Amino acid sequence: MKRRTKKIDFNLVRDRKLPILTLDSRWHEMFSEEEKTAAIRELEQKLNDLLAKQGKLVNEIKDLKQLKKKLMADIVSNMEIDNSPIGKAKAKKQEKNKQYILDINEKIDREMDTLSELPYQIKEVNEDLLIETLSICYKRTRKQSNEIKELSEWITKAREELKEKILLKQDLEEKNDLMYSYIHDILGVDLMENLDRKHFLD
């Protein structure tokens, strides 16, 4: 009768503080590229895309704030407006700068809204990736545990066989030594050397 595998509720990992898996070198060490499933690859790409989007938005907002600061400084430095041609040009530039600032504020607000949602999306995809990782790890662990058991049994058997072979070798060596020593004593050195040359050195 086949033993039924108990299903594990990997959703227990949700809402825990987790490292970002694709930024963790130990996570990458767990899988070669060939071992990654289609689901792992898809979630890994999705997570990396979200992280890249987050980084891009942070930089864009920073640049927009710097541009806004520059425009504000330009407005302050051109406050003196009169009816002269230069004054009218300043006034026109002031209006343009004010409009640019309004546009920048709207863009910053939109990007801040998007940026505020990204940590939740990143967290969710990261959890999904961990759940998929755990599922694969447990399958691999079960499979490898069976292989470890088989290898342990093979090693135990091989050790016993090796022990038997060592004892057999020692026994044969002792018998050879006994026979050789006995014949050597009976026949003497000269005759033994002659026989050795004929039977062992040819």
Q: For the segment 192-201, what is each residue's pLDDT rounded down to a tens digit?
A: 777 767 666 5
15 or 46, greater pLDDT: 46
Query: pTM for the complete prediction?
Result: 0.68
Give residues with Cβ within 8 angstroms of 27, minimum separation 6.
21, 133
Checking if the pLDDT of 92 tops 60, the result is: yes
Q: Which segment of 137-141, 154-158, 191-195 scores lowest on mean pLDDT?
A: 191-195
Neighbours of 57 (CB within 10 A): 17
Checking if the pLDDT of 80 tops 80, the result is: no
In percent, how much of the chain has pLDDT > 70?
90
Which pLDDT score is estimated for 35? 84
Checking if the pLDDT of 4 tops 70, the result is: no
Closest CA to 64 of 112, 29, 27: 112
Domain ranges of the chain: 17-160, 163-199
